[in-house]
Amino acid sequence: MTEANVEVRSDGDTVEILLTGEIDLSNSDLIREKIFASIDNHLVAVKIDLGGLTYIDSAGLRILFALAERLRLLQTECSIHAPPGTPTRRVLELSGMTAVAEVRP
């Protein structure tokens, strides 16, 4: 199975989720469970940090799109941080993620 890590940092009404490693079909269910378990109805903002992510496929993108939709319904700000010029950033741009969540450098 592909290795990935989810680290959650909570600061009051804001949560930062750091994803590292690789997300693909083999580990996407586990990653999704960990991410969604860190989200509650009282958050104001969620920041997803993909700086340590080296690979993401369509299964990983589905997680991010589902999370963005859930946060939209909860009226919670969603920002995704991916370094410019990285393959992960390029995948986000090509997938249309910038239309549903703020993608920051």
Tens of pLDDT, residues 22-64: 999 999 999 999 999 999 999 999 999 999 999 999 999 999 9
Looking at the structure of the chain, the number of domains it has is 1
For 63, the domain range is 4-104
Distance CA 51, CA 80 (A): 10
Q: Which pLDDT belongs to residue 101? A: 96
SS3 31: helix
CATH code at position 62: 3.30.750.24
Distance CA 66, CA 36 (A): 10
* 1: pLDDT strictly greater than 80: no
